[in-house]
Structure 1
Amino acid sequence: MTYVSVSGTPQAIDSKVLEASKQLGGDYAYNLDFNSGDSLGIGWVQLTVGRGERSSSATAYLGPKYINRSNLHVLVGHQAVRVLNTTSRGGVPSLRTVRFVKKTEPNVHEVTAKKELILSAGVIGTAQLLLLSGIGDPTEVRSKGIESLVNLPSVGKNVTDQPFLALQWGLGINGTVTPSEALQQQWLAQWNQTRTGPLSSIGHNHLGWVRIPDESPVWSQYEDPASGRNTPHIEFAFNGGAFYPNPGATLTTVLIGLQPVSRGTLALNSADPFEHPLLDLAFLDSDLDLYTMKYAISSLRRFLKAPAWDEYKLSPVSPLPDDDDEEGLTEYLRNFGDSAAHAVGSAAMSAKNASYGVVDPDLKLKKATGLRIVDASIMPYVTAGHTQAPVYAIAERAADLIKDSWK
């Protein structure tokens, strides 16, 4: 079971966030439940935390009663290095064999599945393993000395991630919302003893989800990438402290561009499975993505100018350019932007007869049999939020598809 909860640990800024939401309304109106089908507004973040600890796919699906099943064997400290063609029928390869190694030993092992392999190595690992196996653009894999096995040029293309920007604000007051070292040690002791206190949460108690207005002139130049008019383009997060070491009283805010249209790539650096691949997320390649992040900064500034924040006397810690300084903001975003770690798309799903894509709607690899992919790499677009819940949904649907194929 995966727990869903809200934070039980208040922060000094909680009342300010809620008061500002009430004062401004509109785009910043209070939202009781982001998962109600309408996520727009400001509200309490919902966490996958249970009994003071992270509740994850591992705790939910690999608990003792599951991990001890007689028909489940989990190898740790091993790495898959290649998928092999087990047999071919009519020129279509059957990819039911995986080659793997134990990282501390030179020996190579191979296992062949009776029915199919399930590949769930993530947006980076899945695409890398496919390319190492000769599954991808034939020219690209051959350039690394790898024999082409399945011609799928879309492998490693369409990589999409959400741009992320953390902004810290200094407080012009004598008090602080940043915990001291001594207080943090107390928190750690409390959590170790009781699994309660600030360390039983994630640091953010509130999020905001905002749309670029429908009447914005940007939509005369670009198609709206959002799925509908209740879908946000931007996420805010509020943290009563510093993400990074910073002296004095600090408020940290996080901005995420939820619907990027820039597309990146993943390519092999070499045929060595232990060498990291080349990943280009192509952040802010699109002018629309750049506009979205600039709008996010402007929208956040409007929220922080609500009367509720007056006593904090907020000022940016870093030299954040003014809203009308287009070139300055562009340079700032390119220098300080980061990844939201919500990458998808490196083995994207497409219609069964499409000329592009990597997997069919049943998640089976195109132009082959015996291999199914189940992770965020199959998502052709990133959702307007975090990727955890969509990946869980994909996995549950995949489980049904796999069970049906065994009947």
Structure 2
Amino acid sequence: MEVFDHVIVGGGTAAGILAWRLTEAGRSICVLEAGPSDSKFYHRVPAGFIKTLFDPDVTWQLASTPNPHSGDRPIQYTQGKVLGGSSSVNGMVYNRGQRADFDHWAQLGNRGWGYDDILPYFRRTERREGEGDDAYRGREGRLGVSTSPWPSAVVDAFIDSAAERGHPYNPDYNGARQEGVGRYQSAIAGGRRASTATAFLHPARRMGAVVRTHALATRILMEGKRASGVAYRQHGETKEVMARRSVILAAGTTNTPKLLQLSGIGPAALLQRHGIPVLHALPGVGENFHDHYSPRLVVRLREGVDSLNAHVRGLPLVGQVLRWMSGRPSILALSPALVHVFGRSDPAFDMTDYSLVFTPGSYKQGFIGRLDDFPGMTCGAWQMRPESRGHVRIASADPMDVPLLDPDYLGVEKDRAVLIAALREARAILSAAPLAPMIEGELFPGPDVQSDDEWLDFARQYGNSSYHLVGTAKMGPASDPMTVVDDRLRVHGLDGLRVVDASIIPVIPSANTYAATMMIAEKASDMILSDA
């Protein structure tokens, strides 16, 4: 029987950092990843997200159950199923969130999770290339973070239009304040994607960490109330690996609660319904599921206005490839989002509550990842801290079955009101004077959409996930029956079992969740080592 100090389930964003920190400290590690290695060329090219996001070989292609609040239609989800997880397939945006986000986590009873507590872990991960106050930014971490140098008159005009609408220019939203407009920062270094696989996991392997690919965890092995190992399937065989110190679940917001439930840890009624013996009743496992829900406006530009659409075919694309290979600015080195606006739906609010996400390109309706043949641009909108909550639940006792997902998007009136305000502001920016000479017309939703009811109908029919899934193993004190882990990420009532991924997030931060997930892993590694 193979025995390691720690068995990590999942080889994704959090797992890479855990493997590096624990191996560096002399611990023996086994990482179980359901997908393959991140060996495809597209995993290195930032613009390769167009391919990787929808490749079933390296992603979990999931869908929600239809919900009336989002048009009675399934919402598609992509989650990484590859070494590096979503950090190997996502849009690479590096966005931490606001101080108040993490202070709120601490106010919920999570000691050591306030902003001043977690800032050193954000700084420890990153190697910031470019502007930024070193009181907030890291310069010596393993993960490169840069701002795109790609020149664009459309991008400049959008920033000017947002400023004309009253949004202050902010060169570093990951610094002292988030509010304002500016260029996004991304986990891109030297024109190449910086994933936690390349920055952390592969170096950990070279130091001795054992990494198993195509290894789907099927059950946590328990000895009474202590986790002792993991059963998994690899190449058609059922195998087991044991843990001396702890089993660490880093399988993500959909697969972590699924594995807990399959192992008899979760809501008793759900487990009994599927014939799974209840080893440890925890009603919060799979609950508190939430995400950023984003409809997108699309505008057609006048002929001759330069957008991404003009560079993705024929000789222009060849030129962009050559530029990328020579290290010059290129569309191949871009993330899908170039400009942010963090704003307030009501000027009286003391915190920003919506985000606008701009790219100087437009995609064909109904053709995922394919740009239009004409010049266009896109502006998405999402509420930063949605209050709607759903759930993730197993569909059966078969580990091969995908879980049932229901995020209940727009289930709360406040979420609807903030999103409508954000969509109206997106249109106002796209209509402002600096952009006006470049625009031929709004394609989507189109000028006929004017009233709040029409905006809401548009949002329900065409909004999609931002792939910022969180919350299904909520962190908090045991006095809250819907929490799953304590503030040291130990599963309530069990020994030797931790959760270290975005599922522990109690309330989603005002940001993409990539940076927060890395911070969680950095902090968890210190807790795991100090608890010894």
User: Normalization by structure 2: what TM-score?
Assistant: 0.69
Query: Which structure 1 residue ranges, 5 or more long, are not aligned?
Result: 216-227
Task: Specify the SS of the correspondent of 1:207.
Answer: strand
Describe the superposition over 1:215-260 as per-residue Cα deviations: whole angstroms up to 9, x where unpaired: 4xxxxxxxxxxxx82x321111221111334342211112122110
Describe the superposition over 1:83-136 as per-residue Cα deviations: whole angstroms up to 9, x where unpaired: 1212x2xxxx1112210110x22x211122111111100001101000111110
Which one-letter code corresponds to 1:134 in the other structure? G
Describe how 1:106-121 pairs up with structure 2 within 5 A: 107-121=237-251
- Compute the RMSD of aligned alpha carbons: 1.8
CA distance in 1, matches of 2:325, 2:270: 50
CA distance in 2, matches of 1:55, 1:62: 12
CA distance in 2, matches of 1:22, 1:138: 53
Task: Specify the SS of the correspondent of 1:290.
Answer: helix
Which one-letter code corresponds to 2:396 in the other structure? S
Q: Report whether the alignment pairs 1:243 with 2:382.
A: no
Partner of 2:11: none
Partner of 2:504: 378
Gap change, CA 1:77 and 1:278, over 3 Å in 2: same
Describe the superposition over 1:303-339 as per-residue Cα deviations: whole angstroms up to 9, x where unpaired: 1222101212342213436564222222211110000
Partner of 2:154: 13
Which one-letter code corresponds to 1:82 in the other structure? R
More displaced 10-residue stretch of structure 1: 188-197 or 39-48: 188-197
CA distance in 1, matches of 2:396, 2:377: 43
Q: Report whether the alignment pairs 1:275 with 2:413.
A: no
* Counterpart pick for 2:310 among 173, 179, 203: 179
* Equivalent residue pairs, number: 382
Partner of 1:48: 187
CA distance in 2, matches of 1:110, 1:379: 29
Partner of 1:344: 470
Q: CA deviation at 1:280?
A: 0.6
Partner of 1:224: none
Describe the superposition over 1:333-368 as per-residue Cα deviations: whole angstroms up to 9, x where unpaired: 111000011110000011144333100111000111
* Counterpart pick for 2:273 among 136, 143, 166: 143
More displaced 10-residue stretch of structure 1: 108-117 or 243-252: 243-252
Partner of 1:313: 439
Task: Specify the SS of the correspondent of 2:510.
Answer: coil
Describe the superposition over 1:360-391 as per-residue Cα deviations: whole angstroms up to 9, x where unpaired: 11100011111011000000110011111111
Partner of 1:68: 206
CA distance in 2, matches of 1:82, 1:190: 48
User: Normalization by structure 1: what TM-score?
Assistant: 0.89
Partner of 1:95: 227
Runs of 4+ with >6 A deviation = none
Partner of 2:198: 59
Q: Identity rate of aligned residues, in percent?
A: 29
Describe the superposition over 1:14-57 as per-residue Cα deviations: whole angstroms up to 9, x where unpaired: 22023224433x3x121121112211111121111101111122
Gap change, CA 1:198 and 1:398, over 3 Å in 2: same
Task: Specify the SS of the correspondent of 1:235.
Answer: strand
Which one-letter code corresponds to 1:67 in the other structure? R
Q: Is the 8 A contact 1:158 1:345 kept in 2?
A: yes
Q: CA deviation at 1:294?
A: 0.7
Q: Report whether the alignment pairs 1:208 with 2:341.
A: yes
Q: CA deviation at 1:150?
A: 0.8
CA distance in 1, matches of 2:276, 2:322: 53
CA distance in 2, matches of 1:179, 1:240: 11
* Counterpart pick for 2:214 among 71, 77, 80: 77
Partner of 2:18: none
Q: Report whether the alignment pairs 1:126 with 2:256.
A: yes
Task: Specify the SS of the correspondent of 2:240.
Answer: strand
Task: Specify the SS of the correspondent of 1:85.
Answer: strand
Q: Is the 8 A contact 1:321 1:329 kept in 2?
A: no
Rg larger in 1 or in 2? 1
Describe the superposition over 1:135-194 as per-residue Cα deviations: whole angstroms up to 9, x where unpaired: 101110111111111100100100010111222101244544221512224323433454
Gap change, CA 1:98 and 1:37, over 3 Å in 2: same
CA distance in 2, matches of 1:310, 1:44: 20
